[in-house]
């Protein structure tokens, strides 16, 4: 389920670039809402339902800030999510067990949403859409390492496998875009492969990974986190 979540979410964002900024915005919003539903279980929230509600409210507030040319409202939307997280704990009636972990779970869910919003903002220009496709291609290619995770002999090298696979995938995708140079494709791929793979491995042993929601959260989160790479390479290239 984790691998499928990566392929579907990354593929959705890549395909959405064909429809321009608006379709990328819609795709990112849908994925953010999926993360809001699934993340609290993986994040370890002791009030998963409340945390989901907080993230479901924060998700559109954060993603829609991409409509602003300079993303100046993104930080404010994230701050709103943080405030809602605290308010949710003030009204809980089950005591204060796991309070800090629950708050951290809420905050952790806001980070991928904010990162995805950066990618949406970049999709307003052709170069940003090109980098989004290349980055998502790298993320999909990196799941090769996930497929080999049961091979114990390869365990020490899986990070390298993800990195190499991501570079190959990005290099192939980069051939179709004049806006993305060879070294730029390698750079964004190296970051995408390493970041997405590391995200999934961090949560690999979490009990929630035995369930559908945990696996979906790990997969979708590892894709949305890559938005910051798209934004950075769009700006500096």
In this predicted structure, what is the pLDDT of residue 21? 93
Q: Cα separation of 213 and 105, whole Å? A: 14
In this predicted structure, what is the pLDDT of residue 105? 86
Task: Please choose, from the candidates 67, 68, 35, the residue with its C-alpha nearest in 3D space to the C-alpha of residue 52.
Answer: 35
All residues at 6 or more sequence positions from 5 whose CB lies less than 8 Å from its CB, including other chains: 215, 216, 218, 219, 220, 223
Segment 174-195 shows an average pLDDT of 84
Q: Cα separation of 188 and 167, whole Å? A: 8
All residues at 6 or more sequence positions from 15 whose CB lies less than 8 Å from its CB, including other chains: 27
Q: Do residues 4 and 34 touch, judged by C-beta distance below 8 A?
A: no
Q: Do residues 145 and 158 touch, judged by C-beta distance below 8 A?
A: yes
All residues at 6 or more sequence positions from 178 whose CB lies less than 8 Å from its CB, including other chains: none
All residues at 6 or more sequence positions from 224 whose CB lies less than 8 Å from its CB, including other chains: 9, 28, 31, 32, 35, 112, 113, 115, 116
In this predicted structure, what is the pLDDT of residue 171? 87
In this predicted structure, what is the pLDDT of residue 24? 96
Question: For residue range 6-51, what is the model confidence (pLDDT) as tens digits?
Answer: 999 999 999 999 999 999 999 999 999 999 999 999 888 888 888 9
In this predicted structure, what is the pLDDT of residue 146? 83
In this predicted structure, what is the pLDDT of residue 130? 93
Segment 150-179 shows an average pLDDT of 83
Question: For residue range 115-141, what is the model confidence (pLDDT) as tens digits?
Answer: 999 999 999 999 999 999 999 999 999
In this predicted structure, what is the pLDDT of residue 95? 67
In this predicted structure, what is the pLDDT of residue 31? 97
Judged against a pLDDT cut of 90, whether residue 228 lies above it is answered with yes
In this predicted structure, what is the pLDDT of residue 63? 95
All residues at 6 or more sequence positions from 235 whose CB lies less than 8 Å from its CB, including other chains: none
Question: For residue range 60-111, what is the model confidence (pLDDT) as tens digits?
Answer: 999 999 998 778 899 999 999 999 988 888 877 776 777 888 888 889 899 9
């Amino acid at each position: 389920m984790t691998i499928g979540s990566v392929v579907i979410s990354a593929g959705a964002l890549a395909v959405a670039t064909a429809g321009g900024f608006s379709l990328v915005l819609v795709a990112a919003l849908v994925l953010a809402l999926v993360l809001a539903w699934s993340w609290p279980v993986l994040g370890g929230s002791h009030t998963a339902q409340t945390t989901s509600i907080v993230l479901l409210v924060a998700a559109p507030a954060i993603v829609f800030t991409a409509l602003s040319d300079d993303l100046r409202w993104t930080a404010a939307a994230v701050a709103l999510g943080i405030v809602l997280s605290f308010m949710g704990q003030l009204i809980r009636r089950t005591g204060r067990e796991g309070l800090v972990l629950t708050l951290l779970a809420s905050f952790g869910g806001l980070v991928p949403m904010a990162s995805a919003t950066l990618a949406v903002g970049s999709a307003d220009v052709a170069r940003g859409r090109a980098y989004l496709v290349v980055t998502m291609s790298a993320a999909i290619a990196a799941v090769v390492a996930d497929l080999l995770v049961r091979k114990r002999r390869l365990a020490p090298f899986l990070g390298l496998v993800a990195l190499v696979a991501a570079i190959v995938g990005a290099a192939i995708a980069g051939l179709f875009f004049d806006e993305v140079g060879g070294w730029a494709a390698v750079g964004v791929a190296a970051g995408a492969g390493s970041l997405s793979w590391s995200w999934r491995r961090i949560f690999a042993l979490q009990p929630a990974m035995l369930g559908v929601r945990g696996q979906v959260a790990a997969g979708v989160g590892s894709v949305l986190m890559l938005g910051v790479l798209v934004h950075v390479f769009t700006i500096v290239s």
